[in-house]
Structure 1
Amino acid sequence: MTCQGLILTVVFVMLCRAEADTVIQKKVVEVGGNVTLSCLLMGSYDILQVTWQKTNTRENLATYSVSKGVTVAETYRGRLNFTRLSLNDTAITLWRVGIQDDGCYKCLFNTFPTGAIPQDTCFTVYEQLRGSLHYIISEGNLTATCSANAWPRPVISWIVPKAQSEKTEEVVTHPNGTLSVISKLYVNRSTSLAGQLLICRVRHMEKDRDYSVKVEDGWWFSVPWLLATAALLIVFVVLVLTVVCWRRRRKKQSESKAS
């Protein structure tokens, strides 16, 4: 084996060992909270500097070296700092995290003579789920509205008794990056739902939460029946009046013949 080949082999083995020595972390933090990210490089290396980057942008967030100390990018000053100063065991803390901070971060251990040894650590930013469900009745039709505000985006599904229905969905993005998903369910002939349970199921962070409401047996559901009842009542009144008038007429006729 040539000298060049030997050097390449040694470098390859060291890089493979470095990858084996790193551990990928995954964390979850609520919007507005704090999170600490750490990297640990095991083994013996001559580390000159540690650099933290946002993986998707490749921008340097902070660096640390014994000779130059700590440097934090201007856009992160007051919101990020090193909380563990060690070249092989490094940690940074982000305060007041927002949706834009969600993702993966890379710490680069700049070593000699191996070069940069990367390690990834990720965290997910979430906003707690807030949901609601209500319905209204108009002209015998039911409109149910289910709203879910959260991050990551919540997914809405409906569990409805057998009925003819249609659905629409709208997504609203708020200034802080959170999302509101508004799903509407339109049901015709709502009388068939009287006493039934409507369920809006929201899936968020791999968990399901149900919001339910019972469709009440109120007079507003009986508008078609009220019309039918009113019509029957009118017919009955007309019949009664007809009978009364007929009896009075017969009575007058009988009195006329008697006289």
Structure 2
Amino acid sequence: MFGASVTCLYVLLELIPKGASVTIQTEQAVMAAAGGPASLTCQLTEHDDVLQITWQKILPDGEKDLATYTRRFGARVRPELKDNMDFQYEELQNCSVVIREATGEDEGCYRCVFNTYGKGALIGTTCLKLYELHGPVLHIREPWSPEESEVSCSATGRPAPTVTLIVTQQHLSFSQHNTTRVHNNNNTVTVTTTAVLSGLHGNSTQVGCVAGVASGAQIQVFQRIYEEKRTSDDGFLNPESLRSFLTWTAVLWMIALFCMLAVIGYLQHKLKHSSRNPERTKTPRQTTRDSQQVTTPLIHHVNEIKQRTPAKTRPESSVSKQLF
């Protein structure tokens, strides 16, 4: 009876694949940003004589070979994947594939197969999951009272992101939290968190928002609230802003009045100057040269007439000439 039991145990040990005790170290799930690089890695925990490494993608109808490596032929990647996939290895004990720009088609589970001499195929499995994160966008609305302000923050991602409002001052606090989720057509979810910030007393307050996805990256944004820019409940400017507004208005009015007085003074001066010299503005003044050009021809004409007309002789002289 004891001999039969030993024989059965020996048969079971022979049926167990050799090297089954050797494990492959890998991550069960790898998170990567959509559109960014994704790295899948497998490593043997013991040194074995590896003949070939093969990376496969698990599909509903079976496995699809993506890349292989052997000492004789080197690394080989499917032609349609060469531009977007790198195959890396280290002494055939550690290998990985790097997808440069991961998309939704790259999501799924992958197998790394170590074909060893004497131990057969050693297989590890890892799955790739992508996440998206857009935002966050922080918005601060006009306050309901001098000591309160409504703050909202929204982010879009896949899976649904977490959105958290934070404030740097310890004496401030958020209340009346409200969170909404909107499912988009591209399988992303937009999450918006709204709260009321209470305890505003200082000149400025820094408010922040943290958005992140599960097992993925987190993004933080901050914005400062300035007290002098805030308004009162009735929609009018607060005293500080009103005082500044009135000061600038008075300055602008003084500048406009000064310009108007300057223009009026210039026009009055011009009118007085033109009224003192009416003839100068009506007829041009003749110069000495022009007057000489006008009078000289008349004098010359009179002289010519005098020279051409003979002088009249007295009758006594003519009679005396006849008598003698």
> What is the TM-score of this pair, normalised by structure 2?
0.47
Which of 98, 107, 114 aligns to 1:109? It is: 114
Q: 2:78 aligns with which of 69, 72, 81?
A: 72
2:232 match: secondary structure: helix
For residues 28 and 219 of structure 1, the distance between their equivalents in structure 2, rounded to whole angstroms, comes to: 43
Is contact 2:110-2:127 (8 Å) kept? yes
Distance 2:230 2:166 in 1: 25
For 1:143 and 1:60, locate their aligned partners in 2 and report how far apart those are by CA, in whole Å. 54
Q: 1:6 is matched with which residue?
A: 10
Alignment of 1:75-114 (within 5 A): 76=81, 78-84=83-89, 89-98=94-103, 101=106, 105-110=110-115, 114=119
Residue 87 of structure 2 aligns to which amino acid in structure 1? Answer: F
Aligned counterparts, 1:43-62, within 5 A: 43-45=47-49, 47=51, 50-54=53-57, 59-62=63-66
Shift of 1:56: 8.1
1:23 equivalent in structure 2: 25
Higher-Rg structure is 2
Aligned to 1:132: 137
Q: Structure 1 residues 110 and 179, CA, compared in 2 at 3 Å: closer, same or farther?
A: farther
Counterpart for residue 225 of structure 2: 214
Look up the SS of the partner of 1:137 in the other structure. Answer: coil
Deviation at 1:167, TM superposition (A): 1.3
SS at match of 2:165: strand
Residues 1:118 and 1:167: Cα distance change in structure 2 (over 3 Å): same
Q: Distance in 2 between matches of 1:144 and 1:168?
A: 12
How far apart, CA to CA, are the structure 2 residues paired with 1:65 and 1:86? 11
Letter of the 1:23 partner, please give it: Q
Q: How many Å apart are 1:89 and its aligned residue?
A: 4.6
CA deviations over 1:177-213 (Å, ceiling 9, x no partner): 765433334x5xx997676857454252475746344
Q: Does 1:39 align with 2:42?
A: yes
Partner of 1:157 in structure 2?
164
Residues 127 and 16 of structure 1: is their aligned pair in 2 closer, same or farther, counting only changes over 3 Å? same
For residue 155 of structure 1, report the CA deviation from its aligned partner.
1.0
Q: CA deviation at 1:117?
A: 1.8
Is the aligned partner of 1:202 residue 2:210?
yes
The share of aligned pairs that are identical, in percent, is 23
Amino acid at match of 2:210: V
Q: 2-side partners of 1:44 and 1:191: how far apart?
A: 65
Confirm or deny: 8 A CA contact 2:136 2:209 kept in the other structure.
no
Q: Is the 8 A contact 2:56 2:66 kept in 1?
A: yes
Q: 1:217 to 1:23 in 2, by over 3 A?
A: same
- Relative to structure 1, the CA distance from residue 128 to residue 198 in structure 2 (aligned partners, 3 Å threshold; closer, same or farther) is same
- Indicate conservation of the 8 Å contact 1:135/1:142, yes or no: yes
Residue 215 of structure 1: CA displacement?
A: 6.6
CA distance in 1, matches of 2:31, 2:85: 17
The SS at the match of 1:222 is: coil
Q: Residues 219, 207 of structure 1: CA spacing in aligned structure 2 closer, same or farther, 3 A cutoff? A: closer
Matches of 2:233 and 2:76 in 1, distance apart? 73
> How many corresponding residue pairs?
217
Gap runs ≥5 in structure 1: 227-259
Is contact 1:53–1:107 with CA below 8 Å preserved after alignment? yes
Consecutive unaligned residues of structure 2, counting only runs of 5 or more, are: 1-5, 238-324
Aligned to 2:320: none
CA offsets 1:100-154 (integer angstroms, 9 cap, x no match): 5456532123457755321234666555663231123398796533123456643
